[in-house]
């Protein structure tokens, strides 16, 4: 069995009339303490489950559900085993239990070959998995993020001292409203330039770190060379996906704000901006899992967008909350690091800390270099954290919807995972 990480591209969905009958499987996104019954009100049933052996890592990818194949037994424990009571008296362990945990009430320990347990994940487990991967596999994570962060800062610093040097980011106290408006526009130009540079760098980091995280889930080491070889064929597609999402967000903002601008109505512009923000946020979450789907399933841009929409369906608020919380945490950490280095850098200027507060320290090379070092450190911490949370959210949704934990357990060599006592494990591919 080839156990290299990755996921295969999704099989084509058969039409409702041609879809073969398959055993009903419970939606893993609900309460794991019970097994739902078919036809029960409020119960969601996955239309497709991964077939036996299809998800076994083969040729560098992991399979995802295909059409017309028999699904493997769900890892949701059957009566007498699993998440809740084992069916015996408290303290008893049933013979041959795949979990090996004591009986009684409570969630038994799941197999954990890598950085996460193979079951639906909670918020803490997703954050912990991202941090654990950064700490355990730092030999792969650190060189990738550090090299990209240094490159980003060098390009950004060069642009600030050359092309963007004429832009007045901070207006004078006695500036007229027109001058203040021009300074605001200049500030937006500088911010957009920095954001575009960081976007390009994040595309490279995301592509490489997805490979590192896919191996970390199985408990396998990875190297920078391995990550580069696996990610390189898909960099252009990931860049196209990122640019498509950015262009879509920009188009939405222009379309909704343009009527107010044409009518010279500040109220309509503000209303359009609010509507654009809400719509962009909704689409941002809907397509949040497109990048890991593209990199790990090896599909195209449009296929990855559809895949993300399918995985996010019914879990929008959960993914939104985890993504926002991650952004707040990483943003706060980055701000603290950059601010500390900026204050230190301002001490090497003629204006001192007052120059940093007034925004005039940016003319000093000493300030820019020291502040740039802080930005490199911040990016080195922030980028792998964000990429890791996105990758683990993708894996978590596939565990909940498609019983991916069975395939991961087989790939990691976990014996008898997801089988009931007295039954043989599902057959896997060669």
Residue 357 is predicted with a pLDDT of 58
Q: Which residues pair with 26 in a beta bridge?
A: 45
Backbone torsions φ then ψ of 362, nearest 5 degrees:
-70, -10
Residue 14 has pLDDT above 60, yes or no: no
Q: What separation in angstroms does the CA of 100 have from each of 107, 111, 117, 153, 414?
A: 12, 10, 15, 51, 13
- pLDDT band with cut points at 50, 70 and 90 for residue 359: low
Q: How far is residue 225's CA from residue 356's CA, in Å, rounded to a whole number?
A: 41
Residue 109 has pLDDT above 50, yes or no: yes
Taking alpha carbons only, the member of 319, 425, 429 closest to residue 75 is: 425
Residue 100 has pLDDT above 70, yes or no: no
Residues above pLDDT 90, as percent of the chain: 32
- pLDDT band with cut points at 50, 70 and 90 for residue 184: low
At 117 the three-state DSSP class reads: coil
Residues 6+ apart with CB under 8 A from 225: none
Q: How far is residue 262's CA from residue 258's CA, in Å, rounded to a whole number?
A: 6
Q: Considering only 178-187, 268-277, 328-337, 393-402, which range has the smallest mean pLDDT?
A: 178-187
52/343: higher pLDDT? 343
At 282 the three-state DSSP class reads: helix
Q: How far is residue 253's CA from residue 367's CA, in Å, rounded to a whole number?
A: 35
Residues above pLDDT 70, as percent of the chain: 61
Q: Where are the alpha helices (DSSP H) in 137-234?
A: 138-161, 177-217, 224-231
CB 69 within 8 A of CB 19: no
Mean pLDDT within 66-77: 44
Mean pLDDT within 62-74: 47
Q: How far is residue 359's CA from residue 380's CA, in Å, rounded to a whole number?
A: 25
Q: Where are the alpha helices (DSSP H) in 263-364?
A: 266-286, 290-297, 301-312, 316-346, 353-358
Tokens of 210: 């997805």
Residue 171 has pLDDT above 70, yes or no: no
Residue 123 is predicted with a pLDDT of 92
Q: How far is residue 361's CA from residue 353's CA, in Å, rounded to a whole number?
A: 9
CB 362 within 8 A of CB 135: no
Query: Largest alpha-carbon pair distance within the chain?
Result: 83
Per-residue model confidence as pLDDT tens digits over 373-413: 999 999 999 999 999 999 999 999 999 999 898 888 888 88
- pLDDT band with cut points at 50, 70 and 90 for residue 429: very low
Mean pLDDT of the chain: 73
Residue 261 has pLDDT above 70, yes or no: yes
Burial class (CB in 10 A: 0-12, 13-18, 19+), 353: middle
At 92 the three-state DSSP class reads: coil
CB 219 within 8 A of CB 114: yes
Q: Is the pTM of this model over 0.95?
A: no
Q: In this structure, is the dihedral angle defined by the CA atoms of residues 127, 133, 136 and 138, taken in order, positive or negative?
A: negative
Read out DSSP for 356-388? HHHT-GGG-HHHHHHHHHHHHHHHHHHHHHHHH
CB 224 within 8 A of CB 143: yes
Q: How far is residue 204's CA from residue 295's CA, in Å, rounded to a whole number?
A: 11
Task: Name the most confidently modeled range: 105-119, 179-193, 194-208, 248-262.
Answer: 248-262
Quick one: which H or E segment has residue 257?
A: helix 235-262
Residue 163 has pLDDT above 80, yes or no: no
Residue 35 is predicted with a pLDDT of 46
At 22 the three-state DSSP class reads: coil
CB 231 within 8 A of CB 295: yes
Mean pLDDT within 30-44: 45
Per-residue model confidence as pLDDT tens digits over 300-331: 999 999 999 999 999 999 999 999 999 999 99
Residue 2 has pLDDT above 60, yes or no: no
Q: How far is residue 67's CA from residue 10's CA, in Å, rounded to a whole number?
A: 9
Tokens of 207: 């592509």
CB 370 within 8 A of CB 341: yes
């Amino acid at each position: 069995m080839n156990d290299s990480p990755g996921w295969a591209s999704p099989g084509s969905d058969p039409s409702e009339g041609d879809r073969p009958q398959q055993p009903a499987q419970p939606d893993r996104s609900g309460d794991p303490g019970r097994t739902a019954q078919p036809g029960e009100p409020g119960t969601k049933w996955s239309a497709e489950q991964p077939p036996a052996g299809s998800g076994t890592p083969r040729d560098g990818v992991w399979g995802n559900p295909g059409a017309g194949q028999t699904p493997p037994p769900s890892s949701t424990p059957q009566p007498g085993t699993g998440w809740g009571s084992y069916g015996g008296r408290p303290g008893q362990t049933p013979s041959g239990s795949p979990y090996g945990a004591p009986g009684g009430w409570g969630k038994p320990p799941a197999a954990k070959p890598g950085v996460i347990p193979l079951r639906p994940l909670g918020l803490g487990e997703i954050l912990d998995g991202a941090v654990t991967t950064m700490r355990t596999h730092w030999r792969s994570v650190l060189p990738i993020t550090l090299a990209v962060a240094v490159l980003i800062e060098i390009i950004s610093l060069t642009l600030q001292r050359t092309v963007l040097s004429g832009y007045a980011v901070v207006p004078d106290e006695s500036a007229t409203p027109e001058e203040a408006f021009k300074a605001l526009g200049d500030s937006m130009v500088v911010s957009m330039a920095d954001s575009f540079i960081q976007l390009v760098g994040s595309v490279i980091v995301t592509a490489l770190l997805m490979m590192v995280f896919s191996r970390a889930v199985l408990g396998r080491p990875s190297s920078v060379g391995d990550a580069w070889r696996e990610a390189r064929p898909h960099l252009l597609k990931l860049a196209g996906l990122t640019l498509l999402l950015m262009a879509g967000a920009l188009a939405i903002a222009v379309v909704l704000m343009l009527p107010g601008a044409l009518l010279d109505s500040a109220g309509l512009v503000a209303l359009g901006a609010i509507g654009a923000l809400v719509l962009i946020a909704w689409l941002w979450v809907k397509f949040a899992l497109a990048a890991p789907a593209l990199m790990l399933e090896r599909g195209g841009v449009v296929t990855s967008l559809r895949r993300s929409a399918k995985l996010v369906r019914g879990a929008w608020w959960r993914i939104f909350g985890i993504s926002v919380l991650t952004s707040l945490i990483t943003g706060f950490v980055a701000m603290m690091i950059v601010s500390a280095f900026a204050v230190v850098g301002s001490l090497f200027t003629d204006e001192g800390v007052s120059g940093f507060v007034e925004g005039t320290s940016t003319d000093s090379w000493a300030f820019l270099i020291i502040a740039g070092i802080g930005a490199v450190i911040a990016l080195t911490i922030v980028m792998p954290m964000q990429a890791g949370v996105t990758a683990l959210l993708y894996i978590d949704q596939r565990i909940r919807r498609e019983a991916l934990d069975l395939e991961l357990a087989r790939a990691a060599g976990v014996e008898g995972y997801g089988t009931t006592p007295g039954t043989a494990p599902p057959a896997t591919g060669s």
